[in-house]
Amino acid sequence: MKILICDDEPLAIDILESYIDKIPDLELVAKCDNAIDANEIIQKEKIDLVFLDIQMPQMTGIELVKSLTNPPKFIFTTAYAEYAVEGFDLNAVDYLLKPIAFDRFLKAVNKATDNGDKSNDASEDDFFFVKADKKLIKIHFSEILYIEGLKDYVIIKKESGRVIALQTMKSLEQKLPSNLFKRVHRSYIVNISKIKAIVGNAVEIVENNQAKHIPIGKNYKEELLKIVEDNKL
């Protein structure tokens, strides 16, 4: 992975650089001390991952990410825990609090390596966080029945209730391992283990002790049926 470090603290840059040197698969392409220079580097170079400080002069790390139309993966590094909610709301891979220990750095890098590639398999974690009711809420994969998308919101239906989060279906789907979840409709993602039957063009799930039928979109049916035929359901 090609790395950019952006931090206005020289010591923080030195620490991250020393950590990067220990991992053969990481290549430090550039380092800078402000978001404006970081933006220029991102536009000119192929950058896979940015270690990005939040509090910097002229432009914050959060403002930089919001300004990019197609940002690379990024990990926020900061001394201020209060920025965590907004950081994760921007789909940060991780959020490292200074001083950063090497084991915590390594865990973040591992997340970046598979991030979104949870598309291929479940990670070692069995949960994720979403922003709802002005806080980060932990949700375990196993408690999800299905997820419904409504414009910029998602409704996560759980066995014990529901959580409504300001997030797109696409960004949430990236947090879900594809061996556990399947998108069956443009507006629905289901927990594969919760499917009780497929009835015509609908998936049947039990919700509140009653059968709930979720529509299957025509663009998703073939792949869903393949899962059934392969005895993965």
CATH number of the domain within which 58 lies: 3.40.50.2300
Mean pLDDT of 101-125: 69
Mean pLDDT of 20-39: 95
Burial status of residue 121 (CB atoms within 10 A of its CB: 0-12, 13-18, 19 or more): exposed
Q: Answer yes or no: do 144 and 81 share one domain.
A: no
Euclidean distance between the first and final Cα of the chain, in Å?
35
Cis peptide bond N-terminal to 99, omega within 30: yes
- How many structural domains comprise the chain? 2
Assess if residue 178 is contained within a domain.
yes
Taking each helix axis from N to C end, the angle separating 102-114 and 10-21, rounded to the nearest 10 degrees, works out to 70
Assess if residue 106 is contained within a domain.
yes
Assess if residue 170 is contained within a domain.
yes
Assess if residue 77 is contained within a domain.
yes
Mean pLDDT of 55-64: 92
Nearest alpha carbon to residue 66 among 77, 51, 49, 54 = 54
Q: Answer yes or no: do 73 and 165 share one domain.
A: no
Domain with 156 in it: 127-229
Domain end among 115, 140, 156: 115
Assess if residue 122 is contained within a domain.
no
The pLDDT tens digits for 15-24 are 999 999 999 8
CATH number of the domain within which 218 lies: 2.40.50.1020
The pLDDT tens digits for 122-131 are 445 688 888 8
